[in-house]
Amino acid sequence: DVKVTQSSRYLVKRTGEKVFLECVQDMDHENMFWYRQDPGLGLRLIYFSYDVKMKEKGDIPEGYSVSREKKERFSLILESASTNQTSMYLCASFDPGRPSYEQYFGPGTRLTVT
């Protein structure tokens, strides 16, 4: 079973703080993703990575950066948190070699910025 874990389930931060969200997967998947989920907007892609140290911007990268120093770990960084970044953050991993083409998601981090 693929397991994707996220460092925190709930997080409360102040405006202007630097925030790190960590994601780890245990199935040696090449590709990893960060999404945010907001009511009525579905899941929107922030960044994805297709290899160590390789990354691509998604649809809403502004205000975020990412780091992938090891294959199993993909970090999302909010350089200076703002209230409009209050959201549910979801990490996912994907194996291009699998025929099912599904992404595996972590449990999510509910971030509140006050």
Partner 1 sequence: DQQVKQNSPSLSVQEGRISILNCDYTNSMFDYFLWYKKYPAEGPTFLISISSIKDKNEDGRFTVFLNKSAKHLSLHIVPSQPGDSAVYFCAASGTASNTGKLIFGQGTTLQVKP
**Which residue in the set 21, 25, 33, 87 belongs to the binding site for partner 1 (CB under 8 A)?**
33
How many CA atoms does the CB half-sphere of 71 hold within 13 Å? Answer: 8
CB contact set of 1 (below 8 Å; sequence gap of 6+) = none
Question: Which window, 13-21, 62-70, 72-80, 106-114, contacts partner 1 (CB under 8 A)?
Answer: 106-114
- Compute the least distance from the CB of residue 16 to partner 1, in Å: 27
- Residue 49 CB neighbours (<10 A): 21
Task: Answer yes or no whether residue 57 interacts with partner 1 by CB under 8 A.
Answer: no
- Residue 90 CB neighbours (<10 A): 22
Question: For binding to partner 1 (CB under 8 A), which residues are involved?
Answer: 4, 9, 31, 33, 35, 40-45, 48, 50, 90, 92, 94-96, 100-108, 110
